[in-house]
């Protein structure tokens, strides 16, 4: 046996054990230092300031009214987040709220019971969402234009059916249910429904393949298509869902205000979109999270409620909403510009630096 | 060298663009035809709709405010942007007009017009600067400025109103005066239309708007001054809304904080119906103007035809959807024709 | 990105806090009024004289005048006055304001309702929280308010308008009504009674009722549409001050001036020019300032317990003297008054 002396192993170079992290940053940074947390932090700050400055703000009565007011916006903002993340938009949601409110009222007046009328109104929402979805996916039209058209169409149908009259005769049981609070906490019962829906949407968006597909579509629809995501089917489903949820919001709105009118919720689509954008969702698609959106909706709601209690007129609320919206969008753009300036002189930062 | 196989180059302007030009023209004439059809049907039902002097005057007069706004909006949409704040700008400008007459009695009417236009242009410039420099989508920016400008309007106006008695009679007469039977406001709107349309079609600047809307990155690489053009588009849109505000004050005489509410979606709808593609790059100002007139005329025609005018918005919605579906079909046909023609030439 | 996010958070918090502080401190009507209400409601209810007017909508000259009267009354008895309201005359907008007033625990809400039924739930919730509710001008269902201050009997208001139009068109021809919003309680009550009154005028035919929603531009455009759709129209009744002003403005520049009669309920200041140029011969109203004045005193009477709202209760309403509560917890102001070019210069509201 020829002994082959294995050459003495070369002196081991001074290689430190490489640890490859799953992410570029530790968990607490990933969760806390995001746009969404910035909005939530802002929300908490505003609540604290308002409770101290505005008389009667920190009461359960106020909390109850605040939640009742934001419920329709919150409901619609949940699916709107998904729609905007895919890069589409739906401007017809408020008109669907009005249309479902009218259908609900008319059916009830014609003698149907509240639950049946509500189910049929939800069906109308599904049909409306399907029309939007088909025009966008099957015919290939831009969602901005389509939903401007359906905004006019659904609102027109709502106003056409009822004219300028309102149906205001609803059974006390249901209108009370829409407003009842849970015991002494002041939190309305409908918040249970809202919470359930919020959890469902959060789980779908963040923890399912369908949700990952939504992000993929937003970042690049073509790449997603070739990766096996069924782009058209996903978008169609999203439009149908947002139609149903808008109809649900319409039923709630009708019962809460006790009035079914063709022009209920006019302009609400802009409030929803403003809240969603404020919550960190990018209008270009591909980025956003549910908790940020909830924070955004609550932020606008808290500001509006606190300012109304302080007898500040609605114009200031408008201005603040607008400024927040512009700031939140411009600031990310400005920051990107600042970062690109800082990154230019040399150092490639981010993942990959092994030294430190 | 045989000349029989010499390849005769096709002159631009014959095969491709003349067909495209034909299609585009077909779009605007289509709207015009629809408009004439609506007027004809309504006049048959009630001749006073067109032939009474009030009827004819109102037909031309009432849409002229929206026409002016739609023209500005169309310019913005052609560059692949959108301006949602035009309604708020109109409201502010209308209230400013009233206040100028109240606080500066004897101020010449032309000065008021100028101030209104400049004021609107400044507000539009803010939009344009945010969109062009911060590279933020115009939908979001103008949504924000819609709130901000409307809020400023509410804060300034409060629950105050401008009454007709507070404005000079000569100014209010502008709202109903006619020159040779055509209302003054319509003449102003037509002038804006003709100037704008000529600029868009025949000047280099105008064509650049289309280029930017068709493909912004290509326009950038080509060396077009994208930032300047976008700024200009928003400036014009704001100025148009400012002018429309002055016209509003003249026409209605009463201005409160609700003036112009919801006008932005009407303006976008008018442009879309008139053939301006929402993703930019095509459509003409003529189309947007006709779209605006069509919208208002339908509104007036419905009650005469016995349909409660509550259904007007539904009709508008159907029209918008029909318009964009039609545009899509035309675009598909056009690209197919282009591919065919290309294949023919190379075959 | 990490540094930027923190910076941005701080910046936006600072701005929002400044905005909130600025909003509370300086701006807004009655920013200070919330405070006295907060202190005063702790002891017995009769100390809480914070009275807030909630009209159908803001920016309506009729309600501006009634608010003036209300404010004068509140000053007289030493309470605090505030006025809030929606921009559009819709029922759901009013509900939000009622909710806010309930949270603020004001002494009384004085409301002109946009709908009989829709605001009832919110008003009941307010009353459960100890806030008194007085309706004026436009009522709600009687069981959700403590008192209703009516300007004149509905029959009287309807009759005076029919009488005027009959006189102005020679008791025969087509007429139309330009109303406010289709749900307003008072409008519907008057229109019903007008239709009944028309039975006494068999040659007058009511051909259309249109709604201008108390919006000036809409009323203006609806008037134009009326004239176009009904070329034989002889008269228009507009039982709303916004509507009649807009209609008069349209008529005075159209060919129909002088040919189509216009009457209804209007304020002298708005109608003066059209009465003088012949567009309108005669119209009616009451004094909205007195209405607001009376409503504020009625609210005070309920808050202090001077009356309970039962029929026969009496209370003093400042310079208007003693008033008695009638059936259905209603207090009447007086009779409608006719304005024409002979007397219109004597009034300033």
DSSP string, B274-310: TT--TTSS---HHHHHHHHHHHHHHHHHHHHTT--GG
**Buried-exposed string C274-311: b where 16+ CB fall within 10 A, e elsewhere:** bbeeebbbbbbbbbbbbbbbbbbbbbbbbbbeebebee
Contact list, B136 vs chain A (CB under 8 Å): 329-330, 333
Higher pLDDT, A325 or A3: A325
Q: Report the DSSP pairing between strands C147-150 and C132-136.
A: parallel
Given a cut of 60, whether residue A42 has pLDDT beyond it is yes
Given a cut of 80, whether residue A21 has pLDDT beyond it is no
C-alpha to C-alpha distances, A291 to A276, A278, A286, B322, C293, nearest whole angstrom: 10, 12, 16, 38, 51
pLDDT category, B40, cuts 50, 70, 90?
A: confident
pLDDT category, C36, cuts 50, 70, 90?
A: very low
Secondary structure of residue C215 in the 3-state scheme: coil
Q: For chain B, how many structural domains are there in total?
A: 1
Q: Which residue of C has its CA nearest to B252?
A: C217
Residues 6 or more apart whose CB falls under 8 angstroms from that of C213 comprise A164, C88, C89, C180, C181, C219
Distance from CA of C263 to the nearest CA of B (A): 19
Q: How far apart are CA A257 and CA C122, in angstroms?
A: 8
Given a cut of 60, whether residue C14 has pLDDT beyond it is no
Interface mutation target, options C30, C54, C228, chain B, most CBs of B under 10 Å: C228
Cross-chain Cβ contact A330/B139 below 8 Å: no
Given a cut of 50, whether residue C206 has pLDDT beyond it is yes
Q: How many CB atoms lie within 10 A of CB B83?
A: 33
Q: For chain C, how many structural domains are there in total?
A: 2
C105 and C170, same domain (yes or no): no
Residues 6 or more apart whose CB falls under 8 angstroms from that of B79 comprise B209, B212, B213, B229, B230, B233, B280
Return the CATH number at B83.
Answer: 1.10.3470
Q: What is the pLDDT of residue B209?
A: 93
Cross-chain Cβ contact C273/B165 below 8 Å: yes
Secondary structure of residue C284 in the 3-state scheme: strand
CATH class of A37-47+54-330: mainly alpha
Distance from CA of C51 to the nearest CA of A (A): 14
C163 and C262, same domain (yes or no): yes
Q: Which stretches of chain B are DSSP H helices?
A: 15-45, 48-51, 53-61, 64-78, 86-103, 109-134, 138-157, 169-174, 184-202, 204-214, 216-222, 226-252, 263-273, 285-304, 312-346
Residue B343 included in any domain: no
- Take residue C93 and report the two structure tokens written for it: 């907008």
Residue C9 included in any domain: no
Secondary structure of residue C90 in the 3-state scheme: coil
Contact list, A140 vs chain B (CB under 8 Å): 328
Q: Report the DSSP pairing between strands C173-179 and C337-340.
A: unpaired
C-alpha to C-alpha distances, C145 to C244, C296, C299, nearest whole angstrom: 30, 15, 11
Distance from CA of B308 to the nearest CA of C (A): 10
Domain enclosing residue B70, as ranges: 23-332
Contact list, C92 vs chain A (CB under 8 Å): 253, 257, 259, 261, 264
C123 and C49, same domain (yes or no): yes
Q: What is the pLDDT of residue B18?
A: 67
Hunting for tokens 């405070």 — which residue is that? C35
Q: What is the pLDDT of residue B20?
A: 63
Interface mutation target, options C2, C3, C6, C16, chain A, most CBs of A under 10 Å: C16
C-alpha to C-alpha distances, C253 to B17, B59, B182, nearest whole angstrom: 49, 15, 15
Query: What are the backbone angles phi and psi of residue B82, rounded to the nearest 5°?
Result: -150, 145
pLDDT category, B16, cuts 50, 70, 90?
A: low
Cross-chain Cβ contact B54/C227 below 8 Å: yes
- Percent of chain A topping pLDDT 90: 44
Cross-chain Cβ contact C221/B62 below 8 Å: yes
Q: Where are the domains of chain A?
A: 37-47+54-330
Given a cut of 70, whether residue C274 has pLDDT beyond it is yes
Distance from CA of B211 to the nearest CA of A (A): 19
Q: What is the pLDDT of residue A201?
A: 96
Q: Which residue of C has its CA nearest to A70?
A: C96
Q: Which of B135, B145, B321 sits opposite A146 (nearest CB)?
A: B321
Contact list, C249 vs chain B (CB under 8 Å): 164, 253-254
The whole-model pTM stands at: 0.81
Q: What is the pLDDT of residue A259?
A: 85
Residue of B212, B188, B200 lying closest to B286 (CA atoms): B200
pLDDT category, A186, cuts 50, 70, 90?
A: confident
Contact list, A335 vs chain C (CB under 8 Å): 1, 4, 8
Higher pLDDT, C185 or A242: A242
Q: What is the pLDDT of residue C7?
A: 46
Cross-chain Cβ contact C91/A306 below 8 Å: no
Interface mutation target, options A175, A258, A301, A349, chain C, most CBs of C under 10 Å: A258
C-alpha to C-alpha distances, B94 to A209, A315, B241, B250, C178, nearest whole angstrom: 53, 17, 10, 9, 26
Q: What is the pLDDT of residue A97?
A: 96
> Could you say which of C263, C285, C307 is where a domain stops?
C285
User: Is the Cβ–Cβ distance between C42 and C72 less than 8 Å?
Assistant: no
Residues 6 or more apart whose CB falls under 8 angstroms from that of B289 comprise B67, B70, B71, B189, B193, B274
Q: How many CB atoms lie within 10 A of CB A51?
A: 16
Residue C270 included in any domain: yes
Query: What are the backbone angles phi and psi of residue C236, rounded to the nearest 5°?
Result: -125, 130
A279: number of CA atoms within 13 Å, CB side? 29
pLDDT category, A343, cuts 50, 70, 90?
A: confident
User: Is the Cβ–Cβ distance between C92 and C119 less than 8 Å?
Assistant: no
pLDDT category, B91, cuts 50, 70, 90?
A: very high
C143 and C223, same domain (yes or no): no
Residues B171, B177, B180, B181: is their CA dihedral positive or negative? positive
Higher pLDDT, A12 or B151: B151
Q: What is the pLDDT of residue C5?
A: 47
Residue of A234, A242, A217, A235 lying closest to A91 (CA atoms): A242
Angle separating helix axes A114-137 and A143-162, nearest 10 degrees? 150
Q: Which residue of B has its CA nearest to C59?
A: B159
Given a cut of 60, whether residue B259 has pLDDT beyond it is yes
Interface mutation target, options A83, A91, A152, A159, chain B, most CBs of B under 10 Å: A152
Domain enclosing residue C252, as ranges: 154-285
Which chains does C contact via 3+ CB–CB distances below 8 A?
A, B
Q: What mean pLDDT is predicted for residues A17-32?
A: 74
Given a cut of 90, whether residue B289 has pLDDT beyond it is yes
Higher pLDDT, A97 or A307: A97
Q: What is the DSSP letter of A344?
A: S
CA B331 to chain centre: 22
Which residues 320-339 of B have a C-beta within 8 angstroms of A? 320-321, 323-325, 328
pLDDT category, B93, cuts 50, 70, 90?
A: very high
Q: Tens digit of pLDDT for each residue in B225-235?
A: 899 999 999 99
Distance from CA of C310 to the nearest CA of B (A): 36
Q: Tens digit of pLDDT for each residue in C147-200?
A: 999 988 888 899 999 999 998 988 889 999 999 887 788 888 899 999 999 998
Residue C8 included in any domain: no
User: Is the Cβ–Cβ distance between A331 and A39 less than 8 Å?
Assistant: no
Residue C228 included in any domain: yes
Which chain C residues touch B if contact means CB-CB below 8 Å? 27, 58-59, 61, 64, 87-88, 215-217, 220-221, 224-225, 227-229, 231, 245-246, 249, 253-256, 270, 273
Return the CATH number at C165.
Answer: 3.40.50.2300
Q: How far apart are CA A242 and CA A252, in angstroms?
A: 15
Q: What is the pLDDT of residue C265?
A: 92
Instruction: Supply angle C-alpha A39, A75, A106, rounded to 5.
Output: 150
C165 and C122, same domain (yes or no): no
- Percent of chain B topping pLDDT 90: 30
Interface mutation target, options B313, B322, B333, chain A, most CBs of A under 10 Å: B313
- Take residue B249 and report the two structure tokens written for it: 């004050």
Residue B5 included in any domain: no
Q: Which residue of A has its CA nearest to C7?
A: A38
């Amino acid at each position: 046996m020829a002994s082959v002396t294995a050459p003495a192993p070369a002196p081991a170079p001074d290689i430190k054990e490489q640890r490859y992290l799953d992410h570029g940053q530790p968990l607490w940074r990933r969760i806390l230092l995001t746009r969404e947390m910035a909005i939530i932090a802002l929300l908490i700050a505003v609540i604290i300031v308002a409770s101290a400055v505005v008389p009667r703000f920190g009461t359960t009565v106020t909390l109850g009214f605040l939640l009742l007011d934001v419920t329709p916006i919150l409901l619609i903002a949940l699916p709107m987040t998904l729609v905007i993340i895919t890069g589409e938009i739906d401007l017809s949601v408020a008109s669907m709220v009005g249309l479902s409110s009218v259908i609900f009222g008319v059916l009830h007046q014609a003698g149907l019971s509240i639950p049946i009328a509500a189910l049929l109104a939800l069906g109308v929402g599904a049909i409306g969402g399907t029309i939007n979805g088909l025009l966008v996916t099957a015919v290939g039209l831009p969602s901005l234009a389509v939903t401007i058209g359906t905004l006019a169409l659904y609102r027109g149908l709502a106003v056409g059916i009822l004219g300028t009259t309102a149906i205001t005769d609803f059974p006390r049981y249901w209108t009370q249910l829409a407003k009842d609070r849970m015991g002494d906490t002041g939190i309305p019962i409908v918040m249970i429904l809202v919470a359930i829906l919020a959890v469902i949407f959060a789980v779908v968006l963040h923890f399912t393949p369908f949700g990952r597909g939504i992000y993929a579509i937003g970042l690049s629809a073509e790449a997603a298509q070739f990766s096996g995501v069924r782009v058209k089917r996903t978008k169609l489903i999203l439009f149908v869902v947002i139609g149903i949820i808008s109809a649900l919001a319409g039923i709630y709105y009708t019962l809460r205000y006790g009035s079914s009118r063709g022009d209920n919720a006019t302009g609400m689509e802009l409030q929803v979109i403003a809240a969603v954008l404020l919550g960190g969702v990018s209008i270009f698609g591909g980025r956003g999270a549910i908790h940020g959106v909830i924070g955004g909706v609550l932020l606008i709601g808290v500001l509006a409620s606190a300012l109304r209690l302080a007898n500040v007129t609605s114009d200031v609320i408008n201005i603040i909403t607008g400024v927040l919206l512009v700031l939140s969008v411009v600031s990310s753009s400005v920051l990107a510009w600042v970062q690109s300036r800082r990154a230019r002189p040399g150092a490639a930062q981010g993942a990959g630096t092994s030294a430190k | 060298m045989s000349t029989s196989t010499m390849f005769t180059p096709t002159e631009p302007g014959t095969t491709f663009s003349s067909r495209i030009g034909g299609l585009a023209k077909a779009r605007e004439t289509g709207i015009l035809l629809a408009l004439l059809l609506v007027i004809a049907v309504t006049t048959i039902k009630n001749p006073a709709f067109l032939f009474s002097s009030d009827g004819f005057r109102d037909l031309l007069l009432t849409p002229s405010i929206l026409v002016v706004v739609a023209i500005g909006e169309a310019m913005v949409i052609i560059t692949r942007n959108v301006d949602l704040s035009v309604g708020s700008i109109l409201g502010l400008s209308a209230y400013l007009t009233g206040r100028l007459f109240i606080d500066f009695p004897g101020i010449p009417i032309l000065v008021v017009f100028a101030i209104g236009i400049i004021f609107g242009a400044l507000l539009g410039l803010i939009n344009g600067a945010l969109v062009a420099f911060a590279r933020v989508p115009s939908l979001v920016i103008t949504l924000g400025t819609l709130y901000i400008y409307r809020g400023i309007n509410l804060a300034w106006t409060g629950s105050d109103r401008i009454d007709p008695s507070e404005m000079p009679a000569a100014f209010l007469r502008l709202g109903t005066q006619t020159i040779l039977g055509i209302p003054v406001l319509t003449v102003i709107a037509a002038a804006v239309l003709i100037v704008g349309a000529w600029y868009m079609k025949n000047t280099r600047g105008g064509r650049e708007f289309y280029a930017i809307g068709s493909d912004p990155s290509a326009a950038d690489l080509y060396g077009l001054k994208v930032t300047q053009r976008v700024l200009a588009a928003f400036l014009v849109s704001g100025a148009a809304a400012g002018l429309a505000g002055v016209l509003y004050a003249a026409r209605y005489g009463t201005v409160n904080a609700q003036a112009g509410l919801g006008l932005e979606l009407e303006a976008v709808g008018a442009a879309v119906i008139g053939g301006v593609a929402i993703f930019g790059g095509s459509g003409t100002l003529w189309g947007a103007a006709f779209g605006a007139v069509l919208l208002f005329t339908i509104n007036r025609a419905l009650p005469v035809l016995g349909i409660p005018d509550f259904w007007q918005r539904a009709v508008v919605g159907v029209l918008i959807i029909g318009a964009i579906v039609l545009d899509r079909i035309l675009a598909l046909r056009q690209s197919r024709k282009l591919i065919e023609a290309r294949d023919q030439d190379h075959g | 990105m990490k540094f930027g996010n923190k910076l941005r958070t701080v910046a936006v918090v600072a701005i929002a806090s400044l905005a909130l502080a600025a909003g509370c401190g300086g701006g807004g009507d009655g920013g200070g009024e919330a405070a006295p209400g907060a202190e005063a409601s702790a002891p017995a209810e009769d100390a809480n004289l914070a009275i807030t007017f909630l009209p159908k909508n803001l920016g309506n000259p009729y309600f501006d005048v009634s608010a003036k009267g209300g404010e004068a009354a509140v000053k007289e008895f030493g309470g605090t006055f505030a006025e809030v309201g929606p921009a559009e005359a819709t029922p759901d907008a009013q509900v939000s304001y009622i909710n806010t007033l309930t949270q603020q625990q004001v002494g009384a809400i004085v409301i002109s309702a946009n709908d009989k039924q829709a605001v009832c739930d919110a008003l009941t919730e307010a009353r459960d929280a100890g806030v008194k509710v007085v309706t004026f001008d436009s009522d709600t269902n009687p069981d959700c308010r403590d008192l209703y201050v009516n300007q004149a009997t509905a029959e009287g208001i309807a009759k005076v308008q029919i009488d005027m139009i009959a006189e102005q068109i020679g008791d025969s021809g087509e007429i139309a009504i330009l109303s406010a919003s289709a749900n307003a309680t008072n409008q519907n009550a008057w229109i019903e009674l007008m239709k009944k009154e028309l039975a006494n005028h068999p040659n007058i035919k009511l051909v259309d009722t249109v709604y201008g929603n108390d919006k000036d531009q809409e009323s203006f455009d609806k008037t134009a549409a009326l004239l176009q759709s009904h070329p034989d129209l002889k008269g228009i009744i507009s039982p709303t001050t916004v509507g009649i002003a807009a209609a008069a403005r349209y008529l005075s520049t159209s060919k129909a001036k002088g040919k189509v009669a216009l009457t209804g309920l209007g304020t002298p200041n708005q109608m003066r020019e059209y009465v003088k140029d012949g567009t309108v011969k005669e119209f009616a109203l009451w004094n909205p300032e007195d209405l607001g004045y009376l409503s504020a005193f009625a609210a005070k009477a309920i808050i202090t317990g001077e009356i309970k709202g039962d029929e026969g209760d009496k209370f003093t309403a400042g310079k208007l003297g003693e008033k008695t509560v009638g059936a259905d917890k209603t207090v009447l102001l007086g009779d409608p008054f006719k304005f024409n070019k002979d007397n219109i210069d004597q009034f300033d509201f």
